[in-house]
Homo-oligomer: A and B are copies of this chain.
């Protein structure tokens, strides 16, 4: 049987998983690739560090040149995290004539254009299924399986850490801090979870998906984003009372005026598929004009799910599918993008708002007058009686609007919080549009 020599650079969690699949399960890669993927080298920084996986003699090295100078190594899984030295190593691998597979979405979101142009100029290719949604093969589905469609919208739960935390808050009634601590204990959150919980990680993945689905070229840091780090348990409870769950949603929708993009905690009605995504799972709902709505759900991170995506990419690259896809799609090419990113203030949507208001006559009239002036129509409203045992002078007022422009919603909130009868900060969140019906 034909043999393709491959290498791994970076033997952390995912790298060890990839090594395990290549070494222990060569039979299945052989069956699906019609050839053996032979792990020739695994490059690490520190040879003395304890490894979870046993490698055959001669495979482990701390010298990248062992890979760069071996012309028989055709495909390399580059699994170093962060931007540097990941970027430099990637360029070196391409220069040395290797096709590269990576799971590093931060690298692609930041340096995708440079890396892809470089690969194209050299006639090489880059595969990155594992960079978005881990084991869920959304990259292949969007860039290959849906190619007959104009994609109209894409909504994703793309950060498993955030979804785990929000699910725990919602189901267990835990505070954000307690849920985060549990996520860290179970290994679902890093010691420093900032990029996960502030929406940055989801925005990086959305930038990649928006490029594939809509041809948009946007810096991830330009995507408006709100994380779950300021999410209040009270809002999860009010949402539930209204028949909704709150999820961190990466939103992309093509409308006449352009492409809407955002990452934010969003209300989704019970029973809609994204509302039912629990624990650390990822999910993506895509609507194409021919295919209708498609929904994908699975493990978005973790050693073996991510390794599953990396090895599938290594097989696709070795057999020649990825080079074709890479060539035909012209990803992140200098070709002009004709997609206009729509300004945040214009995106229409339904809104959930919560205010802390004084418990006295006339308050509701003042607030609803402002909503009316800003042309916001009220869909539902909740105000509970104050606890008779308490001595609170204020109560929570929750309002759900019908569809309105973001600008109008923000203007109304800005005016309402300045009312003397309103105290503290207001909460404002989007409500996700219903998935289109099946008929």
Contact = CB atoms under 8 A, between A and B. Distances in A.
Contact of A148 (B141, B145, B278, B308): B308
A437 to B, nearest CB: 8
Interface of A: 17, 21, 25, 28-29, 31-35, 129, 135-137, 140-141, 143-150, 186, 215, 271, 273, 276, 278-281, 288-299, 302, 304-305, 307-312, 315-316, 319-321, 324-325, 327-330, 438-439
A292 B297 CA distance: 11
A148 B438 contact: no
Contact of A308 (B34, B186, B290): B290
Contacts of A29: 147-148
Copies of this chain present: 2
A320 B309 CA distance: 22
Contacts of A136: 294
B149 A279 contact: no
A290 B307 contact: yes
A215 B23 CA distance: 21
Contact of A141 (B28, B35, B137, B149): B137
Nearest to A290: B308
Given A31-B215, A32-B148, 10 more contacts: A21-B290, A147-B312, A148-B310, A278-B438, A279-B438, A279-B439, A288-B308, A291-B308, A299-B438, A320-B320
Contacts of A329: 32, 34
A212 to B, nearest CB: 10
Contacts of A302: 292
16 contacts: A17-B290, A25-B148, A29-B147, A32-B144, A34-B329, A35-B328, A136-B294, A137-B294, A141-B141, A145-B309, A145-B312, A290-B307, A291-B304, A291-B308, A294-B296, A295-B298
Nearest to A318: B328
Contacts of A292: 135, 298-299, 302, 304-305
A152 to B, nearest CB: 13
Contacts of A304: 289-292
B315 A324 contact: no
Contacts of A141: 137, 140-141, 145
Give 7 nearest A-B pairs by CB, closest first.
A32-B147, A34-B328, A148-B311, A137-B145, A290-B308, A279-B438, A295-B297
